[in-house]
Amino acid sequence: MTFRFGTALVTTFVLVAVSVWMLGNDYTHRLDTYNTLSENYQQELRGIWVPSQAVPKISYPPSPLSIFAQGEQRRFGNFAEIQRWEVPRKVKEGLTNNELLQSVQPFDLLTIFTFVVSLFGVLFSYDSISGERESGTLKMICTGNARRGSIFAAKFLALTTVLAVPFLISLLSGLIILLFVLNIGFGAEQWLAIALMVLAGLLYGAIFVATGMLFSALVRRSSTALITALLFWMFGVFLIPAAGARFAESVIPIDPSTEIKKYEDTSKEELTNKCRDYARSSYPGSFETTVWGHMDYEAGGPVTVFYDGNPNAFLWASLFISHAEPLWQRRAEEIWNIALQQNASKKQQADLAAALSSISPAFNLRMVYTRLADTDFIQHSRFLDSARRYRHTFLNNFEAKGYFGKNVIKFFSRRDSEELTDEKYQVRKAEYSRLWATDRDWFDMSSTSNWDALESLPDDLIPPFQFSGNRSDYSSVLQPLIFLFVMVAVAFSTGFAAFIRYDVR
Amino acid sequence: MLSIARKQILEGLFNLKFLFVAAVVLAAFAANGFIYAEKIANERSDWQELVNKNLADLGTNCGNLQEMSDFWQRVTRPASTLSFIADDGAVRMPNLINVNAFFIQGIERQSRDNEQIPLIQAFDWCFIVGVLMTLLAVLLGYDTICGEKRDGTLRLVLSNPVSRLSLFFGKYLGLLVIITLTLLLGGLISITILVFNGIMMLNEQIVTVLLWSFLLGVSCLSLFLLLAMAVSGIVSRPAVSLVVITTTWVIILIAVPGLARMVAEQSVAVPSPYEIEKNISDSEINFWESSPDGAGNWSGDPFDWFMPGRAKLHLSIVSAKQRIIDSALTQKSLQMKALNIFSSPSPSVLLSDSLQCLCNTGVYGFDNLIDYAGKYRNQLHNLVVERDSLDSESAHLVYCGSDGQTERRTFSTKPVDSSIIPRWHTMWADGGLPREQQWPVWQLVILFALNLQMAILAFIALLCYDTR
C-alpha cells in the first residue's frame, strides 16, 4: 500500500471506467447507426425497378470488443458498395463521419494499458534492487538464508502481482459497467478473447517490471536506473513503432496512389470513345443520341440504365448494353489487377514495418488486442475479400439469368422480352411511331404507372450476403503473444544474471 | 540568482542522465530531418505532377466555356515545407478536393501512405518536443526542490542571505537554459539537414515561422518544468514527486486528447455520408416537385431546345446542393476545433495545435484547403460569368451540368483564352503556406498564462517549505 500503488490503482481505475463508459455508449450508438443504415440500404434495394439499378451495399456489424481496442475499424468503416463496374477496393462508408478526428489516438483500454500500465510497471520496479542497496536493506536480505535467485524471482513475482491488481480491478470494473449498466453481452468466444487480452496485458506489464528490475540491477543508483528504464519505456512504447514504419517507408517505397487514378482516367476515356464509335457506327439517324444518353450515364459507374420508351431505342439500347457491359466489367478487373500489384508492394512495406516494430512490446500488445477485437487490417481485408467474392456471385447470378445476353431487356426494363417479337410489340411499335410522328408526346408511354401489372423482379435477384469474418483467429495472435513472453523471459534472465553479479555494498 | 542558475546549468549539463536523454533527443531531431527530407520531396513531386496535369487539362478544355466550367479539377493542398515541424499528427488527413466553376466536393486523401500500416505518431517536432522533450523536462525538474529537501541542502541554502524568489528563479532559469539549448541544437540539426537537401529555402516567412515554433516549444517545455518544480515543492520525497509527475505527464499526453475526442464527437454533430446524400436527393426532389411550369420542360418544338425554366431549376438545385456539402465540411472542421478546445488543458495539444496553425497542416491545412477551394471556385465562376456576358448569343443562364444536348444555349460556348483562367497553384505562397499566414496568438497567450499560473503555484509551494 505504497503511494505509487495507490496512484496506479486510482489512475487506472478512473481512466478505464471513463473510457469503457464512453466507448460502450459509443458502441451502442454505432450499432444503432449500423442497423438503421443496413435497414435503409435493404429498403433501397427492395425499391428498385429494374435489375440494372441493383447496387447492393453489404456490411458487417461493429465488434463489441472494439470497446477495448478501437484499432482501425473506425478508420476503415464497414460498408462496401457492390458495383458491376468496380471491384471493391475500399469501403465506401465508415463508422466515423469525420475523418479529421483520426489525428487523435482513440482513448480505449488498449491505449490505457499501453501507456499507463507500462509506465507504472517501470515506476514500481526501478528501485527494487538499487533502492534497497541505497537504503542498506539489500545487504541484510542477501546475508540471510535466501538464495539470490529466489530473491530476484520473488521480487519479480511480487511486483508483477502488485501491477496486476490495478490492472485486473479496473478491467473488472469496466466489464461490470458493460454488462450491468450498458447491457452489452458477450458470447463464449468473446470471453475467451477477453481472457487472452488479460494474459497479453499481464505479460506486457511483466516486461516492464522485468526491465525496470534489470536496469535497477545493472546500475548503482536508483535515479540512473529510472532514467534508463524510462528511456527503454520511451523506445518500446513510442519510438520503435514510429521509427519502424518510417524506416520501412524509405526502404520499400510504394507508388503514389495517382498511378491507379491515371489508369482509371485514361481507360475510361478510351472505353467511352470506343463505345461512342460503336454507337455511331451501329445506329443511324437521330436516335444515336437516345442510345448515347444511356452510355453517358453509364460511363464510369454503375448508374442505372432504365429505359422503357421508344421501341427502336429499346432495341438499340439492348444491343448497346450487351456490347458495352462486358467491356466495362473487364476494365474493372484490369483496374483491380493494378491495385493488386500496388497492394503487394504495400504489403511488403507493411510486413517490414511489422517485423521491425515487433521488438516493441507495445506493438505486440496492439497486434494481440486489435486481432482479438477484430478491428485490425486483417479483418478489413477479409471483409473486402468477401465483398469481392460476393460481387462475383452477384455478377454470375446476373450472367446466369442472361441479363447481359439473351435476356438483356429484362435487365433494364420490366417489360416482357416477348414484346420485341410478338404482335404486342408490333402494336406498341405502331403506337410509338404514330405518337412520334404526330405530337411526340411519348413520355407518358414510358411512365411507370402501369408497371406494377408487369412481371415482378425475381426473388433471387440479389443473393444473400453472409460475412463470417467476425471469428477471432487465434493462430495469428500466437506470434505476438510468444514475442511478449520471450521479452519477459529475456528481460528476466538478463536481470537475473546482473543481480547474481551485483555488488550489494 | 544568476549564480544559482549557473550552478544549476553546470549540474544539469554535466550530468550523465541528462547527456544520455539529450543524445536521444538530438538523434530524434536528426532522424526527423532525414525522414522529412525524403517525405517532403515526394509530396512535392506528387503536387507538381497534379499541377501539371490540371494545367494540361485546362488547356484542352478551354475551347468551350461550358466545358471549361464543368471540368473537375482535382486540387490538393500543396506539400508544406514545414510539415517537419508539425505534420497532420497520427493521421491521414484529407488533402484533395474536386473543384469546378460551380462546386467543391468530394474530399479525399492523396498520398503515398500505406493503409496496411496501423496509424502511428508522425515523427515531427510536435512529437519530439511534445513527448520526448517534455519527458526530459519532467526528469530534469522532478527532484530540483524535494531532492534538496531530502539531502538537507535546501536548509543550508536558505540559511544564507538568498531570497526564496531568487532561489526559485535561479533554479528555473538554469533548467530552462539547458532545455532551450537542447531544443535549439536539435532544431538546428534538423533544419540544417533539410536546407542541405534543398528542401527548404530560408525566406522571411519561413524564418518567422521557425522563430514562432521555438518560442512555442520553449513555453510548452517551460510549463512542464514549472509543473515538475511545483510538484517537487509540494511533496517531500523525490520518489513520490516522480510518480505524481510522470502520471500527470502521461494523462496530459494520452488521456486528455482521447477524452476530448469523445466529448467533441458527442457535442458537435456531423452528418454521415448517407445523410448528406439523402439531404441532397431530398432537396433535389423537392425542387423538381415544387417547380412551376412543369419543371421547365421542353416546349415540344423540335427546333427550340432552349429551356430557361429548366435552367433556373438547375441553378437553384446546384446552390442548394453546394450549401449542404459546405455545411457538412464546416461541421467537420468545427468538430475538430471543438476537440482542440476541449483538449487545450493539455499543453502538448496546445503546442501541436499552434504549430499546425503555423505550418498549414492538420485541421488548419484542411480549413485552408476548403477555404481556398471555395475562393478558387468563385474565381472560376466569375470568369465564366464575365466571359458569358460578352457573348451576345447566350441567354446568360450560367449553371452546372449545362453541357447536355437540350440546354445548349443557356450560356456561352465560345472558347476562352487559357492564359486568363485562374490557376490553383498560384493561390499559395512558397513552401505550401497560405498567403495570409495565421499566427497562433491565443494559443501562445494561453501557454503564457498557464506558465504564469504554474510558476505562482510552484513558488507558493516553495514558500510553504518550513526550514525547521
Within-domain flag for B368: yes
B232 touches B142 (CB < 8 A): yes
Q: Which of A254, A271, A429 is nearest to A347 (CA)?
A: A254
Supply B137's cell numbers. 523536462
B15 exposure class (CB count in 10 Å sphere: 0-12, 13-18, 19+): middle
Cα(B212)–Cα(B219) distance, integer angstroms:
11
Closest-CA distance, A261 to chain B, in angstroms, reads: 10
The reply to whether residue B117 touches residue A257, judged by beta carbons under 8 angstroms, is: no
The reply to whether residue A119 touches residue B250, judged by beta carbons under 8 angstroms, is: yes
Top residue of B57, B93, B125, B262 to mutate, by most chain A CBs within 10 Å, is B262
What Cα–Cα distance (Å) separates residue B335 from each residue in A430, B267, B364, B365?
61, 8, 13, 15
User: Rounded to 5 degrees, what are φ and ψ at A61?
Assistant: -70, 155
Closest-CA distance, A417 to chain B, in angstroms, reads: 30
Within-domain flag for B445: yes
For A99, the closest of B94, B123, B265 (CB atoms) is B94
The CA-to-CA distance between both ends of chain B, in Å, stands at 23
Q: For the beta carbon of residue A134, count every other beta carbon within 10 angstroms.
A: 14
A39 touches A79 (CB < 8 A): no
What residue type is B26 in one-letter code? L
Within-domain flag for B208: yes
Give residue B64's Cα distance to chain centre.
38
Within-domain flag for B468: no
Q: Is A26 on the interface with B (CB under 8 A)?
A: yes
Q: List Cβ neighbours of A484 (8 Å cut-off, separation of 6 or more).
A: A200, A203, A204, A207, A361, A364, A365, A368
Cα(A200)–Cα(A478) distance, integer angstroms:
10
Q: For the beta carbon of residue A341, count every other beta carbon within 10 angstroms.
A: 12
Which residues of chain A lie closer than 8 angstroms to B31, CB-CB? 243, 246
Within-domain flag for B82: yes
The reply to whether residue A234 touches residue B135, judged by beta carbons under 8 angstroms, is: yes
Q: Which of A447, A466, A285, A469 is nearest to A375 (CA)?
A: A469
The per-type count for chain A, helices as H runs and strands as E runs, is: 18, 2
Q: For the beta carbon of residue A183, count every other beta carbon within 10 angstroms.
A: 9
Cα(B43)–Cα(B81) distance, integer angstroms:
10
User: Across-strand partners of B97?
Assistant: B75
Supply A128's cell numbers. 527494487
CA Rg value for chain A: 32
| Three-state secondary structure call for residue A77 | coil
The reply to whether residue A93 touches residue B92, judged by beta carbons under 8 angstroms, is: no
| Three-state secondary structure call for residue B345 | coil
- Using DSSP bridges, classify how beta strands B73-76 and A79-81 pair: parallel, antiparallel or unpaired: unpaired
Q: Is A248 on the interface with B (CB under 8 A)?
A: yes
| Three-state secondary structure call for residue B107 | strand
Cα(B257)–Cα(B346) distance, integer angstroms:
7
Within-domain flag for B191: yes
Q: List Cβ neighbours of B440 (8 Å cut-off, separation of 6 or more).
A: B212, B216, B353, B354, B355, B357, B358
Closest-CA distance, B112 to chain A, in angstroms, reads: 5
User: Rounded to 5 degrees, what are φ and ψ at A83?
Assistant: -115, 150
Supply A463's cell numbers. 443473393
| Three-state secondary structure call for residue B74 | strand
At A5 the pLDDT is 86
Which residues of chain B lie closer than 8 angstroms to A103, CB-CB? 88-91, 93, 336, 362-363
Which residues of chain A lie closer than 8 angstroms to B90, CB-CB? 102-105
Q: List Cβ neighbours of A3 (8 Å cut-off, separation of 6 or more).
A: B239, B240, B243
**A 5-24 residues with CB < 8 A to B:** 7, 11, 15, 18-19, 22-23
pTM for the full predicted model: 0.87
Supply A326's cell numbers. 462486358
Q: Is the dihedral of CA B387, B391, B394, B395 positive or negative?
A: positive
Q: List Cβ neighbours of A322 (8 Å cut-off, separation of 6 or more).
A: A404, A405, A408
Low-confidence ranges of chain A (pLDDT < 50): 286-309, 440-453
What Cα–Cα distance (Å) separates residue A234 from each residue in A48, A238, A360, B105, B131?
57, 5, 10, 42, 9
Cα(B85)–Cα(B209) distance, integer angstroms:
10
Which residues of chain B lie closer than 8 angstroms to A441, CB-CB? 300
What Cα–Cα distance (Å) separates residue B317 from each residue in B98, B272, B284?
19, 21, 6
Closest-CA distance, B177 to chain A, in angstroms, reads: 21
Supply B265's cell numbers. 464527437
Q: Establish how many alpha carbons lie within 13 A of residue B87's alpha carbon, considering only the half-sphere containing its beta carbon.
A: 23
A342 touches A259 (CB < 8 A): yes
Which residues of chain A lie closer than 8 angstroms to B339, CB-CB? 101, 104
Q: How many domains does chain B have?
A: 1
For A231, the closest of B24, B238, B260 (CB atoms) is B24
Q: List Cβ neighbours of A233 (8 Å cut-off, separation of 6 or more).
A: A118, A119, A122, A208, A211
pLDDT in tens, chain B (468 residues): 777 778 777 777 777 777 888 888 999 999 999 989 988 888 888 888 888 988 888 888 888 888 888 888 889 888 888 889 988 866 678 888 999 888 888 888 877 778 888 877 788 899 899 888 998 888 888 888 877 777 777 777 777 777 888 888 888 888 898 899 999 999 999 999 999 988 888 888 889 999 999 999 999 999 999 999 999 888 888 888 888 888 889 888 888 888 888 888 888 888 888 888 889 989 988 888 787 655 655 555 545 555 667 777 777 888 888 899 889 888 988 998 888 888 888 888 889 889 999 988 888 888 899 999 999 999 999 998 888 888 877 777 777 664 444 445 677 778 888 888 888 888 888 777 888 888 889 889 999 999 999 999 999 988 887 766
Return the DSSP state at A86.
B
At B29 the pLDDT is 93
Q: Establish how many alpha carbons lie within 13 A of residue A138's alpha carbon, considering only the half-sphere containing its beta carbon.
A: 21
Return the DSSP state at A420.
G
Cα(A378)–Cα(B406) distance, integer angstroms:
50
Within-domain flag for B362: yes
Cα(B251)–Cα(A115) distance, integer angstroms:
9
Give residue B367's Cα distance to chain centre.
9
At B407 the pLDDT is 47
Within-domain flag for B224: yes
At A421 the pLDDT is 56
Give residue A77's Cα distance to chain centre.
6
The reply to whether residue A227 touches residue B94, judged by beta carbons under 8 angstroms, is: no
Which structural domain, as residue segments, surrounds residue B7? 2-463
The CA-to-CA distance between both ends of chain A, in Å, stands at 28
Closest-CA distance, B139 to chain A, in angstroms, reads: 8
B8 touches B170 (CB < 8 A): yes
Supply B139's cell numbers. 526528469
